Amino acid sequence: MQYKELENCKLCSWECGVDRLAGEQGICMMGLPEVASCQLHPAPPQSYTVFTSGCSFKCLNCQNWEIAHYPRIQSKIKGVVVPESIARIGVQAVNSNAGQMIGADRFFFSGGSPTVSLPWIEEVVQYAKTFDPKMKVNFDTNGFPSRRSFQRILSFSDSLTFDIKAYNDEVHRALTGAPVEPVLTNAQEMARHRDQLWEFRILVIPNIVDLPEIQAITEFIVSLDETLPTSFLTFRPNFCLDTLLGASRKLMEEVVNLARKTGLENVHWAGFSDIPGAYPSVPQEFVEKFSHQHAAVAAFYAQRAGCLRIQRNCGMCDSKLTCDLKGYIPHQTT
Ligand code: SF4
Ligand code: SF4
């Protein structure tokens, strides 16, 4: 498992160019690809799901923060796994009675961001298709692979689940630490391969990604193709947004209605709604620093968790390997 390209890593749109094999760290902080956990998973598309460690984003709402912030946050993970071995185990799991009972028919690569582990995943897929030529593959993406990586992902994936975290760049950066442009460009490319899109996934976060932002995202998707499948997921308090209230059923219904009004034909929402929490009270002097109020709310939470910049941009930040936000331990996860 000596992946030469990790010596000058440009797998995601940060294109850090660091030598991961020599111990240099990019934004994801990862060296060799490592597996956090893997298991049969009944949620559509039913699969043998492999969670890889490390992520190119530092999302305030992260549900898998222990995986995404590894190795900065030390968590229980499997570690480096030989591709042939996990391919064999996964194929057996999909074809087992338990796998068939849930309707599993594919590997599902998630994370963190699986792009960080792309050459390792390609090798797993190669073995899996040798062991069972009918085996399918789903790739779960935050939309931030480099253009070249995205073409590689499209070349072996039967389906992609594609997150769009926000449309407005200020909101996207405040929420994830990364610019939105590469995501929108990859989404346009995704639309050209529409048969491979399982669905766009949009997390609805009160006061950050709610109606104004949803309007912008859905207009963008409609401009690509109004029939593209889109799923709105319900925010639950997590990671740096551990005290924010969950999205309500009423908000989720409004979001779907708005998306339909905007012209999207294939939409639904899913998840647990109405988890209690607080509305943020963002100081006025903070709000004044942003042109977009929802970005101010996200940036306020980022600063509370240890971000040192008013305008987040982890790739351009001197503190990218040391800032407290990446070691933040939430008071609750739901
Ligand atoms: S953040 Fe992206 S480009 Fe940078 S080292 Fe990690 S995978 Fe490579
Ligand atoms: S301090 Fe820098 S690296 Fe840390 S979250 Fe803020 S912008 Fe990103």
Residues with a CB atom less than 6 Å from ligand 2: 58, 177, 307-309, 312-314, 317, 319-320, 323, 325
Q: Cα separation of 164 and 203, whole Å?
A: 8
Pairing of strands 230-234, 267-270: parallel
Q: Which of 127, 99, 97 is CA-nearest to residue 38?
A: 99
Residue ranges of domains in the chain: 32-163, 180-334
| Confidence at residue 133, expressed as pLDDT on a 0 to 100 scale | 98
Q: How far is the CA of 11 from the centre of ligand 1 (A)?
A: 6
Thinking of the domain 32-163, which architecture would CATH place it in?
Alpha-Beta Barrel (3.20)
Q: For each successive 10 residues of the chain (334 residues), what is the average pLDDT?
A: 91 97 95 96 97 96 90 82 96 98 98 97 98 98 98 98 98 97 98 98 97 97 98 95 94 98 97 88 88 94 93 91 88 78
The set of residues, in sequence order, having a beta carbon less than 8 Å from that of 239 and lying 6+ positions away, is: 59, 60, 61, 62, 63, 65, 305, 328, 330, 333
Global pTM reads 0.96
| Confidence at residue 1, expressed as pLDDT on a 0 to 100 scale | 66
Q: Cα separation of 61 and 205, whole Å?
A: 9
Ligand 2, atom 8, lies closest to the CA of: 314
| Confidence at residue 331, expressed as pLDDT on a 0 to 100 scale | 83
Ligand 1, atom 2, lies closest to the CA of: 12
Pairing of strands 106-110, 159-163: unpaired
For 291-320, give one letter per residue: b (16+ CB within 10 A) or e.
ebebbbbbbbbbbebebebeebebbebeeb
